Amino acid sequence: MIFPATFIDVVDFIDFIDFIDFWIFFDFYWFSRIISDLFRLLNFFLIFI
């Protein structure tokens, strides 16, 4: 989701801070998903070794 600069201009400051907090949370969520998938793959390979 890439918004044009006008979207940021329309949003007031407090909503903008909430928007940034949302994206930090969203990135952390995907990062934890990737880490858990890596551990799942690691366990999968350890079973076959």
The number of residues making up the chain comes to 49
pLDDT in tens, 13-41: 656 667 667 776 777 777 888 888 888 88
Q: Tell me, what's the pLDDT at 42?
A: 83
Q: What is the distance between the alpha carbons of residues 49 and 47, in angstroms, rounded to a whole number?
A: 6
pTM over 0.85: no
What stretches of 1-49 show up as alpha helix (H) in DSSP?
A: 5-10, 13-48
Q: Tell me, what's the pLDDT at 28?
A: 75
**CA torsion, ordered 13, 14, 18, 23, to nearest 10 deg:** 10
